Amino acid sequence: MTPDQNQILSMVRFGPRPRRIAISRDMRDKYQSVVVLLKDEEDPHSLFTIYQNNGITVFHYPLSSRKNSCSSAQNYYTAANVVWKNAKMGSRTYVHCAAGKDRSGLVCYTLCRLLGMKRWNAIAYMGQHRPVMREAIEENIWRAQMIDHWLDTKGKQA
């Protein structure tokens, strides 16, 4: 991993939806922003006020990880790009969905690919830092292929 990749990735943590008590105690000292990937039916709005009251900036992307969903690779790119830009400004970001493996994993994978990692290096990184994300993407490799195809055809760089 290059120093640039290491620096950016050290500014972000991927995981599950935090318990409300943990938001006020632990998160306000560690993170300046949070990327919430919860869908509306998962009640993300109840967390927004708590985050904001603790000085944490909220970015909400109600993404789905289902194969036939209306979510596209562009949405994952957009979320990963927010994380990248926050890290470049020195802002630590926590990225979460409900379980911290599928949607969070896709944002992590997209960020790794934007940083120039090859597919299997990105998946290996995920396995080192949150094995459940690696397992989820390996079981459904089409997700990685969807992200790769979008990045290749759109030629986007963060």
Q: In Å, how far are 23, 68, 87, 99 from 71, measured between CA atoms?
A: 27, 8, 25, 18
Note the pLDDT of residue 71: 55
Q: Which CATH superfamily is domain 3-151 in?
A: Protein tyrosine phosphatase superfamily (3.90.190.10)
Residue type, 44: P
Q: In Å, how far are 25, 34, 47, 74, 119 from 40, measured between CA atoms?
A: 25, 16, 12, 19, 31
pTM of the entire predicted model: 0.88
What is d(CA 17, CA 95) in angstroms, rounded to the nearest whole number?
A: 9
Phi, psi of 36 (to 5 degrees): -100, 120
- pLDDT band at residue 21, thresholds of 50, 70 and 90? low
Q: For the CA atoms of 127, 133, 136, 141, what is the dihedral angle to 10 degrees?
A: -70
Q: For the CA atoms of 143, 149, 152, 158, what is the dihedral angle to 10 degrees?
A: -30
Residues 6 or more apart from 137 whose CB is under 8 A from it? 105, 106, 109, 123, 126, 143, 144
Phi, psi of 93 (to 5 degrees): -130, 140
Q: What is the mean pLDDT of the chain?
A: 85
Is 158's pLDDT higher than 60? no
Note the pLDDT of residue 121: 94
Q: What is the pLDDT of residues 98-139, one digit of tens each?
A: 898 888 999 999 999 999 999 999 999 998 988 999 899 888
